[in-house]
Structure 1
Amino acid sequence: MMRDFVLKHVLSTDVDTDEPPKDLKPQDLPQEEQEPKKGRYIGAIDQGTTSSRFIIFRDDGTPVASHQVELTRICEHSGWHEENPEEIVDSVEKCMDQATKAFTTAGYSVSDIQTIGLTSQRETALVWDWETGKPLHNAIAWPDTRTTPLVRELKQKEGAEKLQELCGLPLSTYSSSAKLVWLLRNVPEVKEAYDNGRLAFGTVDTWLLYNLNGGKENNVFVTDVTNASRTMFANLHTLEYDDTLLDFFGIDRSKIRLPKIVASSHESAFGSMAQGPLKGIKITSCLGDQSAALVGHCAFSPGQAKNTYGTGCFLLYNVGNTPVISKHGLLATVGYQLGDTPVYALEGSIAVAGSGVSFLMNNLGFFRDARKINDEAATVSDSGGCVFVTAFSGLFAPYWIDDAKGTIFGISQHTQRGHIARATLEAVCFQTKAILDAMEKDSGERLKELAVDGGLSNSDICMQSQSDIIQLPIERPKMHEITALGAAIAAGYALGIYKDLDALRGMNRSNGKVFKPQIAETDSARMYKQWSKAVEMSRGWLDNSAINAG
């Protein structure tokens, strides 16, 4: 069972090992791709924890123009992580303006853009006044842990043990529900609006759609099934708000406005742009970022999975049209809904991926550029017997060990920096295998291949190690904007630009790279057994008082 302690250290999927963002303009494409193609273009809003982006794709999945704007983080107290709701909207509008300007400057026409898709950070909670349309507080972002005492209180409440069967999520600081309860208890303006029936609640997708459609003037108030499934207010089986869940959190449905839940791909539910250069263009998709990445990888069949190697890792595993409530430490969620039937997923998270590389760079001085991790690891042929359990804040799925500490085993007088660099990369790969094993047990489906994205996936050594350890092919696409591509695919599907999901499976696969196992299965099993032994030996470094203080 997940504990609120471990989730208070969940890390952003923004990637430490990525190159600095660079705006894409049509003239940056290879010469053969610069000529405008007869066909259609789709815009994709990608609103993340630390930045917003807008990317314009050709209907074959090629990005032709983009712009990115960084966001301000507001951290007034330890464990707090807030964002300015109006800055979120402004950043998205600026990205759309600048990317469209680059698009038209290169000779394209706004009329070539058929539709717009949206993907955004999940679980971040926003509240605003329904009568004025103005925010009543900063957005409380998903990694925020101020609700830790509240979550402990709620866990003692009658019915707490039944929540996961209804919504797929255990009680934690992660989901939106506890954030809303905290706001109602601690912000008088929010409580007053609630008591007067003026309080609107939503996640980032709802807030953006509301504002991009003109705010109070048009009152487009909607969310999709993937984002709704992360609030703990929606029943995972019915995909509607559940009175049992709302009652548990003390939410009176008559006093609060909750957004309508619809499919992730919809021709009309998400409205259209109310102003700016793309005024009048429909928004026809809405997905949480990890779900968008699943769609971007075209993981449309049960048994397919994607892993995003960012600061931490988020691994989603398609389990088909029936939700699977995990018995092995994973989350159950909606993967996406592009038509009438939802597709569900199991989700596992790894706390330390790119942040382990940052540790080697910033704390140990191994290199000055995180992208050099591959070069450092390449100085040796293997890890030299080193095993690095990167439990900087305990271990996440499927272990949920909160009394572990980061520990390196197997050091000898011959150990070099390259061995530790390899052991750091292998730690991510071993934890990915543990999650995949749990997913197979929960779902009954065997993984066929693993699609990857994120900054650390650029390391050939890391991806080859991943293939060796899970004994399966690893598919790394050439084009890295997978999350935005997923939003574009879902938007195009709503309008019939894409009619057959099976036909999309080849999108973004050309010129990618496939890593296949290069070691025997017996050797892989031996390595994993050694890792599992190291995990057990890392337990118990913290006592309960140290955990609570953390």
Structure 2
Amino acid sequence: MTFLLAIDQGTTSTRAIVFDRKGRKCATAQRELPQHFPQPGWVEHDAGQIWQDTLGCLRDALTAARLRAQDIAAIGITNQRETTVIWDRATGEPIHRAIVWQDRRTAGFCQQHQDRSAWLAQRTGLLLDPYFSATKIAWILDQVPGARARAEKGELAFGTMDSWLLWQLSGGRVHATDATNASRTALFNLQTQDWDDALLAFFNVPRALLPEVRDSAADFGRTQADWLGAPIAIGGIAGDQQAATIGQACFAPGMIKSTYGTGCFMVLNTGHELKRSQNRLLSTVAYRLNGQPTFALEGSIFVAGAAVQWLRDAIQLIKGAGETETLARSLQTTQGVYLVPAFTGLGAPYWDPEARGAIFGLTRDTGIAHIVRAALESVGYQSRDLLQAMAQDAVTPTELRVDGGMVVNDWLTQWLADVLQVNTVRPQTVETTALGAAFLAGLQAGVYGSLEEIAALWQTERRFTPQMRGDQADTLYAGWLDAVRRVRTA
């Protein structure tokens, strides 16, 4: 039997999953990732710990599956995007903690240069926002003594988490990324499909820092033999949301998926057409195969599952995420309570880095269940923000494929169908991010001959149809828009 091994390096955890050829999960290993918040709005990760966790998860997953390295056809890597690490090429040691995609420390620079936003969008499909890697790279080079001079000499290397893990897995032999991750740096030109000298000059980032950009299914080298007992080919890389698009088999233009993890990310396949949004969505690379990019429109929400983590860890209203469904079902409504989880600003379509979270509509009768349900409801409202923007830019979908850890919650998945007023489809495998990475590795290894062969493996687990009247959904959504208006600063 043929097996594929996927690394899913996320914002709050690192996982390794073994899949068989049909995309069925055979074994999983996972380790939670501590978050570091050195200042309000700043978020950092320990890249060294991420590498050690990844290696440990790979070994544990192989052990759990009772497999050896020789049994694995290829490894695929998917990762939290935009998170930035710079390391010493000689020692492999990071020169600073990784700056996470949620981090807002460079908001001042972005505000100061908003006059260049249209110019940037034309080249990159992105907005000038702290979310993307370019300003994070520049910040590290400017703040770490001697870093800029060392970068210009070629002594340092930059990568998003895929490049960092690839470097470590290959024993420092391969410094590369794929087009999906490159397209999230604000340094990559979507039309030329290469790093852009004008962007590098604007952000003051030396080209010598950057990895080589390859297709999403490509030869990324092999693992160092002593990591897993024998070398394994690394055949696929994609940023987490693009990998989920592949795992959901959204290969035809007009197909749309939404992933509910730490954040929420809705991706609409636009085919070989590079479509420009009129509603502050992002144009991005969905995947690139055989040198041919497939493009997408994407809406990015910074806080989805992170709101549940906040309920658990920060204000301790719940002990575990599993409690949220029971609490949400215990009420008919939130009685007018809205939670706007703008903990690190607002993403699409608002792009307000200075907005902050708030709870509105509290009364003497408000209890824990109301606040918990309002947190879950906010995920649906933010999804509607994105879906309406996509409908105005491109197409109104009749079906939304959903995945990620949050959609195992039946109440939430039904709520999405209700507030969005579209059929919401949950697949047999909700770990579609890892599955997409495995599929890419399998394409490169010859396990699969085409995207059509992969699409034939996708299966529905459950379809949720709207149970709420459209006018009722509209009224609830209007309350959300009012709550958002009250936290916005721009």
Distance 1:408 1:385 in 2: 11
Deviates more, 1:364-373 or 1:191-200: 364-373
Within 5 Å, give how 1:139-158 maps onto structure 2. Answer: 139-155=98-114
User: Could you say which residue in structure 2 is the equivalent of 1:70?
Assistant: 32
The partner residue of 2:444 within 494, 497, 519 is 494
Deviates more, 1:128-137 or 1:241-250: 128-137
Question: Which residue type is aligned with residue 205 of structure 1?
Answer: D
Q: Does structure 1 residue 536 correspond to structure 2 residue 488? A: no
Deviation by residue 1:338-385 (Cα, 9 ceiling, x = unmatched)? 3442121222123443344456667887654332222222234x3275
User: Could you say which residue in structure 2 is the equivalent of 1:171?
Assistant: 128
Aligned partner of residue 94 in structure 1, secondary structure: helix
Distance 1:129 1:366 in 2: 43
Closer, same or farther in 2 for the Cα pair 1:51/1:416, shift >3 Å?
A: closer
Distance 1:67 1:537 in 2: 40
Deviation by residue 1:58-86 (Cα, 9 ceiling, x = unmatched)? 11111212322333444444433333333
Aligned partner of residue 166 in structure 1, secondary structure: helix
Distance 1:220 1:359 in 2: 37
CA RMSD after TM alignment: 2.8
Within 5 Å, give how 1:439-478 maps onto structure 2. Answer: 439-442=390-393, 444-478=394-428
Distance 2:338 2:483 in 1: 12
User: Could you say which residue in structure 2 is the equivalent of 1:265?
Assistant: 217
Distance 1:414 1:367 in 2: 19
Within 5 Å, give how 1:24-423 maps onto structure 2. Answer: 39-104=1-66, 108-155=67-114, 159-215=116-172, 219-253=173-207, 256-266=208-218, 268=219, 270-275=220-225, 276-357=227-308, 367-380=318-331, 382-383=332-333, 386=336, 388-393=338-343, 395-400=346-351, 406-409=358-361, 422-423=373-374
Question: Which residue type is aligned with residue 331 of structure 1?
Answer: L
Contact 1:312-1:352 at 8 Å conserved across structures:
yes
Q: Does structure 1 residue 505 correspond to structure 2 residue 451? A: no
Contact 1:403-1:540 at 8 Å conserved across structures:
no
Distance 2:59 2:485 in 1: 52
Contact 1:127-1:190 at 8 Å conserved across structures:
no
Within 5 Å, give how 1:480-491 maps onto structure 2. Answer: 480-491=430-441
Distance 2:41 2:335 in 1: 36
Question: Which residue type is aligned with residue 184 of structure 2?
Answer: R
Closer, same or farther in 2 for the Cα pair 1:419/1:66, shift >3 Å?
A: closer
Give the CA deviation at 1:139: 2.3
Deviation by residue 1:499-545 (Cα, 9 ceiling, x = unmatched)? 232233343525x11111234xxx21442244225523652467x6x
Contact 2:62-2:68 at 8 Å conserved across structures:
no
TM-score normalized with structure 2 length: 0.90
Distance 1:399 1:502 in 2: 36
- Unpaired runs of 5+ residues, structure 2, are none
Deviation by residue 1:177-210 (Cα, 9 ceiling, x = unmatched)? 1111112212123123124332322222112212
Closer, same or farther in 2 for the Cα pair 1:324/1:293, shift >3 Å?
A: same
Contact 1:142-1:174 at 8 Å conserved across structures:
yes
Give the CA deviation at 1:245: 0.9
Identity of aligned residues (%): 37
Distance 1:362 1:187 in 2: 32
Contact 2:9-2:54 at 8 Å conserved across structures:
yes
* Alignment size in residue pairs: 487
Contact 2:340-2:358 at 8 Å conserved across structures:
yes
Closer, same or farther in 2 for the Cα pair 1:187/1:506, shift >3 Å?
A: same
Distance 2:311 2:228 in 1: 45
Closer, same or farther in 2 for the Cα pair 1:43/1:155, shift >3 Å?
A: same
Distance 2:149 2:388 in 1: 48
Deviates more, 1:480-489 or 1:89-98: 89-98
Give the CA deviation at 1:405: 5.7
TM-score normalized with structure 1 length: 0.80
Give the CA deviation at 1:491: 0.6
Aligned partner of residue 286 in structure 1, secondary structure: strand
Distance 1:541 1:241 in 2: 36
Question: Which residue type is aligned with residue 117 of structure 1?
Answer: G
Give the CA deviation at 1:404: 7.5
Closer, same or farther in 2 for the Cα pair 1:374/1:72, shift >3 Å?
A: closer
- Unpaired runs of 5+ residues, structure 1, are 1-38
Contact 1:387-1:531 at 8 Å conserved across structures:
no
The partner residue of 2:470 within 521, 524, 529 is 524
Closer, same or farther in 2 for the Cα pair 1:252/1:350, shift >3 Å?
A: closer
Aligned partner of residue 147 in structure 2, secondary structure: helix
User: Could you say which residue in structure 2 is the equivalent of 1:13?
Assistant: none
Aligned partner of residue 122 in structure 2, secondary structure: helix
Deviation by residue 1:196-226 (Cα, 9 ceiling, x = unmatched)? 33232222211221221121xxx31211001
Question: Which residue type is aligned with residue 470 of structure 1?
Answer: L
Distance 2:448 2:33 in 1: 33
Contact 2:85-2:97 at 8 Å conserved across structures:
yes
Contact 1:84-1:139 at 8 Å conserved across structures:
yes
Closer, same or farther in 2 for the Cα pair 1:421/1:224, shift >3 Å?
A: same
Distance 1:413 1:80 in 2: 34
Kindly name which structure, 1 or 2, has the bigger radius of gyration based on alpha carbons: 1
Closer, same or farther in 2 for the Cα pair 1:116/1:152, shift >3 Å?
A: same
Question: Which residue type is aligned with residue 296 of structure 2?
Answer: A
Q: Does structure 1 residue 430 correspond to structure 2 residue 381? A: yes
Closer, same or farther in 2 for the Cα pair 1:182/1:478, shift >3 Å?
A: same
Contact 2:17-2:434 at 8 Å conserved across structures:
yes
Contact 1:151-1:172 at 8 Å conserved across structures:
yes
Contact 2:405-2:431 at 8 Å conserved across structures:
no
Give the CA deviation at 1:263: 0.8
**Bigger strand share:** 2
Deviates more, 1:127-136 or 1:359-368: 359-368
Aligned partner of residue 535 in structure 1, secondary structure: helix
Contact 1:467-1:516 at 8 Å conserved across structures:
yes
Aligned partner of residue 78 in structure 2, secondary structure: strand
Question: Which residue type is aligned with residue 258 of structure 1?
Answer: L
Question: Which residue type is aligned with residue 141 of structure 1?
Answer: V
Contact 1:338-1:490 at 8 Å conserved across structures:
no
